[in-house]
Amino acid sequence: IRYDAKGKLKEQFVELNLVTDWTNGIYSSAGYLPVNNEDYGGIFHKNINRWHFNMEANNLSKFITGGFYYEGGKFIVRFEDPTYVGFGHNLDIWATIKPFDRLRNDINYSYSELSKSAGGEKLFAGYVVSDKISYQFNKNFFLRVLLQYDLFSRNFTVDPLLSYKWNPYTILFLGSSHDISEISDNNGFGKYTETDRYFYLKFQYLWSL
């Protein structure tokens, strides 16, 4: 139970969770909100019930690890005025692939949708997928490339970063960032164009006084 500084009731919830630690490094949990009431936008919303489930496999294999998280049920539609309770889903899937020690590939997929009611009109639906590729040439030299596509904004991002570490306190970073967005012409046809690009250089050195 949560109140604001003036003593006004802001939130009430009860969450039930079942957590299981399986063999071979597999972990899972399942939960449900039988009670979930919240004051938002001047309205006290009741019965915002939803459930969630997730599973992770962190030690199953040296080559690949990962997991997923799902949440579904009722959510407050916070961007409408007045606010109300809708129905939605959230899904996260992630994996880390390591073909060999120096190369690491972190992949993540996130999907979200929200409707006015269960089976009703969708307010939004989309996903964000990202891939972070890292390569350690040696103990000093490191390369990372981040690739991400956002369906909500129809934007593709490329962020390469190169670093060289002389010691734990002296590091040189060289990187850039590129935004590629979908631009519609007068006929409504979309074309992906680079809209932003910048480069940066950072040098870190620690002086002992």
Q: How do residues 151-205 score in pLDDT, each as one tens digit? A: 999 999 999 999 999 888 899 999 999 999 988 777 767 788 999 999 999 999 9
Q: How do residues 26-46 score in pLDDT, each as one tens digit? A: 999 999 999 999 999 889 999
Contacts of 154 (CB under 8 A, 6+ apart): 181, 182, 190
Give CA 149 to chain center in angstroms: 12
Contacts of 148 (CB under 8 A, 6+ apart): 128, 129, 130, 131, 156, 157, 159
